[in-house]
Amino acid sequence: MIRYEHTQRSYLLHWLVIPVLVVVVGSVLLAGVGLGVWLLVAVYVVAFAWLIATFSMLTVLVDGEQIRVYFGRGWPRKTILRSAVASIRQVRNRWWYGVGIRWIPKGALWNVWGLDAVELELRSGRIFRIGTDDAGGLLAALAL
């Protein structure tokens, strides 16, 4: 039984696609290149769109025994046993920690937008931060 499920979206990342595509396609048009370059640009555009679609959504699921966190439609993903968590707390990330999957002091951060996060201190001593726009709801679900 899932006790908590929340998906945070970053619409700002979607808007990044437009200027990047305009610059890339405009540059190729102005350069007057051949089919090979157009194919390379097409691969680049598809890969960029996939990255944006994947890393603009972060879903957190909490049930009786596990905490599951995943980007996009399910990959990359991480599962943490609740029994492996020593403590939880709400934290505020530094702005330079950024978005995506990041290594931070003593652990990792998964984030799509904003500075708020819930930090899980694991029994191993490592930390795992989950960026969220619903820190109160996630804390309440983890406290059960």
For residue range 99-116, list pLDDT tens digits in order. Answer: 999 999 999 999 999 999
Residue 47 or residue 17, greater confidence: 47
Q: Where are the beta strands (DSSP E) in the chain?
A: 2-9, 57-63, 66-71, 77-81, 85-92, 100-104, 107-111, 116-122, 127-131
* Mean pLDDT calculated for residue range 67-80: 96
Query: pLDDT band for position 23 (50/70/90)?
Result: confident
- pTM to 2 decimals? 0.86
Say which range, 10-19, 50-59, 67-76, 86-95, has the weakest mean pLDDT: 10-19
What CATH code would you report for 2-6+58-143? 2.30.29
pLDDT above 80 for 10: yes
Bridge partners (DSSP) listed for residue 128: 108, 120
Q: Are 129 and 80 in contact (CB under 8 A)?
A: no
Distance of CA 61 to the CA centre of its chain: 14
